[in-house]
Structure 1
Amino acid sequence: MTRLKLAIPSKGRLKDNAENWLARAGFKLRQSGGDRGYTAELKGLPDADVLLLSAREIAQGLIDGSFHIGVTGEDLLNDLSADLARDASVIKRLEFGGADVVVAVPSAWLDVNTMADLEAAGARFRQRHGRRMKVATKYLRLTRNYFAQKSVGEYRLIESAGATEAAPASGQAEVIVDITSTGTTLRANSLKVLDDGVILKSRAALAGSLRADWSGGAKEVLQKLLASIEAVESADATSLLVVGGKVEESLRAELGLTEISANSFLSPSGKAVENARKLTESGVNSVSILKSDFIFSQATPSYEAFIAQFSTRA
């Protein structure tokens, strides 16, 4: 039986958030070798091997098929893959790890506010200094593609090995392409994002490799994992209304209720209180609002959508 290989970030907020997200779905992480170990297991998912790696290593491993699924940034997947549709697929976009990949220039460049302005500034810079302006980044492919799309050619790309936002102040580069979530670090380094300089709005994502070996039981383990994740999402999105009385079909349709039994209905969580009030106004004796940790269904849409990609590639 092929074991499912799952990779999650090895440290920082991404690791903590990924670990908490899995725990909510009933899969508690236990790290092998203590906090410094790079392998782990998930309680409740015994047929999965868990690897703890950097987000960049995870993205690369998904792209080359070293493991089946992983939690990493969409920015890295898009940067490292020359053809992401062939290499990997985002299964779930997660509610953490949000950041934008942006083009930033020194705030003192008052006349440079757009990518078109940057191209003009690059031409002037080359004429004045006898070289192209340098753009520092860890996102080489994303930068090349976006600059080409915006018809910017007056630059030379250099790969950043450290804190990219410090490159202009240290003289290593004039422009940077980097990730930012709040813009605070950019402002602290006297940098500004160009008006049309957002290359990609990125989030952490659970992604699956389209190049990994999915034979054996790996698909079944993935289905079990995703079924629990979707059960949590369904529970978050809905509330159970237990009604003391008959609810007419027309009122159920009006309120968007899904009948579970004669006296139990699912309601969108954001409308649960309002719907309960309307039910009592219609003559129902009482309405209780209950929250569940999990609501399972027979279908697992995210699993089915991911697996369907293999048939379209055949």
Structure 2
Amino acid sequence: MTDSPLILAVPSKGRLQENAAAFFARAGLVFTQSRGARDYRGTLAGVPDVEVAFLSASEIVSQLASGTAHLGITGEDLIREQIADADEAVEMLTPLGFGHANVVVAVPQAWIDVRNMADLDEVAADLRARHGTKMRVATKYVNLTRRFFAEKGVADYRIVESLGATEGAPGAGSAELIVDITTTGATLAANALKILDDGVMLRSEANLVASARAPWSDRARNAATAVLTRIAAEEEARTSREVRAALDPARASALVSLAKDHGAALPYGNALGREVVLHCRGTKVFEIVAALQGIGAQDISVRAFDYLFRPTNALTERLLRRIG
């Protein structure tokens, strides 16, 4: 194994690139491109041994599958479509909260009696019996469609690969129905299409993905640990709060019980003179404040964090467990 740096593949343009850059920036990880925005290679400011590759969404998936890239940001829909053995090839480290889209089966609204995949199977059988033809499904998601239709027991169809606006295929007469991505369903409705009741094949969003086939050198592992630790620290900080209060040390046992009851931590022990410190989920703040007041605490303050580094984090553990 060569002692290669970490290759991080991110979208090269558009809203996905903007969202990816914002996601990393929240964790203090800033993309730098020495030759400007048209430079398709970059670095992470202040983090050694990381090379950023700016690629198309499809290229990111290909490089994760081949092991050319160690980490990448891309949609789960593309991972599941382009990599036949996705669960073997990659590890989905964490969803990122943007790039949401559902892969759906949509049929003409005029098919009022067709509500689910079982009804669709009857349509396919009827087309074969009456006209000797197979039901046509227009899609860019060939592999996802085949797997989903097989799971639902629908076999009498053929795929028409879509190169353009898939939602227009039924209206143009080139297919009876479609499989496509949608966020709001508005485009489908505008083309007189409806989603089957059980026709949501995949609820996708952008993910941070690790390649199980990449050459994970010590440099790459260490760089990935540094990156993931920062991401985890920012996420932990965003969802946590610190509560400080003046409390009689004699109430230490009551404080321990309070922390346990409310899922809070006492990172510095159960008493610091008269000041106590608790870490808790942001959603628990007000009930913890009330409980502290109930045991005699005074001068209670609540603070947000920029970053909160724990001894371990789920992201790093998930990666290291997968790559061995």
Q: Please, what TM-score do these two structures have when normalized by structure 1? A: 0.94
Check conservation: 2:216, 2:323, Cα contact below 8 A: no
CA distance in 2, matches of 1:286, 1:254: 22
Moved more, 176-185 or 120-129: 120-129
Pairs within 5 Å for 1:81-230: 81-230=83-232
Q: Counterpart of 2:289?
A: 276
State the one-letter code of the partner of 1:171: G
**2:33 aligned with 1:31:** yes
* SS of aligned partner of 2:215: coil
2:253 is the alignment partner of 1:251: no
Task: For 1:268, give the aligned amino acid.
Answer: R
2: CA distance, partners of 1:106 / 1:39: 45
Separation in structure 1 between the aligned mates of residue 47 and residue 82 of structure 2, nearest angstrom: 30
Following superposition, the deviation at residue 200 of structure 1 comes to: 1.1
For the residue of structure 2 that corresponds to 1:176, the secondary structure is: strand
Q: What residue is the counterpart of 2:20 in the other structure?
A: 18
Q: Is the 8 A contact 1:6 1:69 kept in 2?
A: yes
CA distance in 1, matches of 2:323, 2:237: 30
Measure, in 1, the Cα distance between the counterparts of 2:15 and 2:159.
30
Q: In structure 2, what residue type is equivalent to 1:108?
A: A
Aligned residue for 1:286, secondary structure, equals strand
Cα deviations by residue, 1:248-297 (Å, 9 ceiling, x for unpaired): 22222223221122311101111112311321232111110000010001
Displacement of 1:54 in angstroms is: 1.7
Specify the code of the residue in structure 2 equivalent to 1:120. Answer: E
d(CA) in 2 for partners of 1:235 and 1:62?
A: 29
* Runs (5+) with no aligned partner, structure 1: none
Structure 1 residue 158 displacement after superposition: 1.8
> For 2:262 and 2:118, how far apart are their aligned partners in 1?
51
Aligned to 1:40: 42
CA RMSD, aligned part only? 1.5
Q: Which runs of 5+ in 2 are unaligned?
A: none
Q: Using the TM superposition, give the Cα deviation of residue 127 of structure 1 relative to its aligned residue in structure 2, in angstroms.
A: 3.4
Name the CA shift for 1:127/1:31 in 2 (closer, same or farther; >3 Å). Answer: farther
Q: In 2 relative to 1, CA 32–156 (structure 1 residues): closer, same or farther, beyond 3 Å?
A: farther
Count of aligned positions? 311
Shift of 1:210: 0.7
- What is the CA distance between 1:209 and its match in structure 2? 0.6
**How big is the shift at 1:99?**
1.4
Could you state the TM-score of these two structures normalised by the residue count of structure 2?
0.92
CA distance in 1, matches of 2:189, 2:156: 25
1:34-67 deviation per Cα after TM superposition (whole angstroms, max 9, x unaligned): 3333222211223111111121221121111121
Structure 1 residue runs of 4 or more that deviate by more than 4 Å after TM superposition: none
CA contact 2:258–2:291 (8 Å) conserved in 1: no
For each residue in 1:67-119, what CA deviation from the matched residue of structure 2 results, as whole angstroms up to 9, or x when unmatched?
11100011111111111122111011111112111111111111111111111
